[in-house]
Amino acid sequence: MKYNIIILIFVLCIIQFSKLCGQILIKLENAQDRQGIEGVFAQIFDKNRNTKIYVSDSQGKIFLESAEFPLIIRISHLNFEIKSDTLPSPKDEHLILLTPKNKLLDEIIITGQYTPESVQNSVYKARIITATRIKAQGANHLQDVLSTELNIRFARDNAVGGSNLSLQGLSGQNIKILLDGVPLTGRSGTANEIDINQINVNSIEQIEIIEGPMAVNYGADALAGVINIISKKDISGKIDLNLSFQEESVGNEFSWFEDGIHNPSLSIGYKPRKHWYIQGEGQINRFGGWQGDALGREKSWYPKTQYFGSTLVRFEKTKWNLYYRLDYLNELIENLGAGNDNNPLRDPFAIDEEYQSHRWMHQLQGEFKLGKAHLNSVVSFTDYERNTNQFVKNLVTDQESPTGTEEQDYISYQNYFTRQTLNNALQDDWVETQFGLEANHEIAGGTTLSEGNKSLTDLAFFASAELTLIKKIKLRPGMRYGYNNAFSPIPTPSLNVKYDLNPQLQLRAAYGRGFRAPSVRELYHEFIDANHNIIGNKDLEAEKSHNLNADLSYKLPKIDLSMSINGFYNYVDNRITYFTPEGVNQPTTYTNLLKYKTTGGQLNARWQGKNLLLNAGFAYLGRYQRLSEAESEGEIPQYVFSPELNANAIWQIPTIHIQLSGFYKYTGANKAYTLIDEEPVLQKINAFHWLDFTASKSFWGGLTLAAGVRNILNVTQVNNNISSSGAHSGNSGGQSPVAYGRSFFLKLHYQLNIQQKNNP
């Protein structure tokens, strides 16, 4: 793609200006046992800001040629803390001591905490996915990262090019998707879900996943859990420039300008003064579509082009900091119709459709120290619009003309959100507190809603306290209560318990109640055309849920092995789902299902050696739903279960400066009972295996080259005989789409980091 070629030329020009550094001996040792450390990556800057990357030998030594001092050295290793140091003057030998990482304490969680907390000390059982892991996967989208996680599944919606997400067996409208703690706006498709692929994956610093209802902290839509995407907000040094481009095939389809995936990106971070930080990011993600079994100009997977942009300005003082962030999305999906040349009196033509989305997301966040207390303030505004345009395209002249107005539609959302939390206003050695106020006002309009703009307002007050008892037990009771202009909310209590049986063994248990009011789309949807007949239901009731979670974690620090086993139970009353009445030409609508339950367990293990990180897990998920009011107790089994298995490995080979990564997941058959001729019949979507592999190599001057194979086992679709009343079930001819087949990618990344003068 032309954007990538331009960036490649730019990168090569920059590299030509990089100059080689000098000769000096640097010894890198473990601060605990004073042994040399092999495979340490060291980025060294001389006084003229020229840079070069070295890797220590088997004795922990790096040999440089003569250089102009002072030198700045930035050191990184999988098992040791990142460190920067200054070598002020030349001498025969420089000794630098590195501190080993405590792997469990090293992961810091923000979501649901009073202040940033280590995963080990948090009362919540959380999963952390770091930027290093995202980079190791060569991910183009957030789905590439999450699809190999346990208890997370996706179902593709080919009609709008999105993917529907489920967590703990609960669908996407029950999952709170946050960007830096701010709810994402822009539910699309008939599934009423946030499309997580409309997020720039290159801007992510960390992903935090907490399973189970977080209604006390985050309100509606958090029955299944919370996925909080933490964006990058800082750099090491004065200037940090990152340029990359990625080229990837789509199955066996690829060309430099059209077919395949073309993904250039640029980010710049700059600290002009001591308290200021400015950041800008941009990315283009061009997906050329996938032909698959389609004929002519039609595509099995529609072409998609995404433009991402963001900017951030932060001002930070000792007792307060404030930042403003703006994110922009422009997405175009093209549905190319079949060519028609049956009329000799007119040029060949086709009826095409375009789905275009725009999203502007503004957020202003601040943290203020008020004595021992902290005030965290969030104010945001999101403007989201999605347009569907149908037109006739002349295949000879390329001229386009719109079809009838009934085939043109749009929907828009404006969301105003604020969240104010006061942490530790009442603080002692044994208690911490949080008091919060949250307001959310959403305005929706468009041709796919009943006439006139609709709005929903939600106000809530929430409070919780964390009590530390006998230094081994933490209790966190919480309560949320509020106002909704369409429904009467119920109080949503929660209780989390953490018990340290000993320094290596921890037990967590939690209960939470959830509440979800129907969305604007579920209440007022009105989508009627040649292919759809969907109407909302103004008589829907709010969903209510109960959740139980328990987790037992064990670690062996001497061999750096950690293991955990956990279980969960969800009970959802009045779950909202699709319903199509019997009879001819009856519209699909929404209804409250009487009962829906999920339960399951999970076993995880993690081991980290000198240059190798291994993760493996097994999950077993069961679902139960009542099919009709007439169903008698015990008429169908309570649950149908599905297994999952995953494993991943990251291996560094210091001697040749290469990192190898592999990611595997087995997704068991997804089973469900459906009514056929008023009789419950067990149906399923077949199981499948997924495997990715990536290799990357670091070169001098901040250059990294990565190559990989995605979907090695060449999965495209799986058998599906589950009857669906949804408008876009993704089930065509008894098949559910999974992927576009085995693909290969190549990524070039260049980083230029300039340190502060005399300040590493």
Spatial contact of 300 and 280, defined as CB atoms under 8 Å apart: no
Stated pTM of the model: 0.84
DSSP string, 253-312: B--SSSSSEEEEEEEEEE--STTEEEEEEEEEEEE--B-TT--TT--SB--EEEEEEEEE
Closest CA to 42 of 11, 12, 85, 103: 85
Amino acid 18: pLDDT: 37
Contacts of 584 (CB under 8 A, 6+ apart): none
- Give whole-number Cα distances, 663 to 74, 148, 659, in Å: 29, 7, 14
Question: What residues in the chain have per-residue pLDDT under 50?
Answer: 10-22, 102-105, 189-190, 725-732, 758-760
Residue with tokens 């929706």: 444
Predicted local distance difference test score (pLDDT) of residue 725: 47
Residue among 364, 375, 374, 266 at smallest CA distance from 313: 364
- Which tokens sit at 435? 């008091």
Q: 70 preceded by cis ω (within 30°)? A: yes
Residue 753 near residue 240, CB atoms below 8 Å: yes
pLDDT at 584: 64
Contact of 68 with 45, CB cutoff 8 Å: no
Residue 64, strand partner residues: none
Amino acid found at 5: I
- Concatenated DSSP letters for 85-101? EEE-S--SEEEEEEPBP
Q: How far apart are CA 718 and CA 224, in angstroms?
A: 26
Closest CA to 54 of 98, 62, 46: 62
Sign of CA dihedral 33, 37, 40, 43: positive
Under 8 Å between Cβ of 44 and 71: yes
If DSSP codes are grouped into helix, strand and coil, which group holds residue 218?
A: helix
What's the start-to-end Cα distance of the chain, in Å? 38
- For 140, 481, 498, the CA distances from 187, given in Å and listed in that order, are 21, 25, 36
HSE, CB side, 13 Å, CA atoms: give it for residue 724: 21
Q: Which helix (H) or strand (E) holds 6?
A: helix 2-16
> What's the chain's length in residues?
760
- Do 163 and 147 contact (CB within 8 A), yes or no? no
Model pLDDT, residue 343: 85
Are 142 and 196 contacting, i.e. CB atoms less than 8 angstroms apart? yes
pLDDT at position 407 is 62
Q: What does the alpha-carbon distance between residue 210 and residue 152 come to, in Å, rounded to a whole number? A: 12
Question: What's the confidence (pLDDT) of residue 237?
Answer: 76
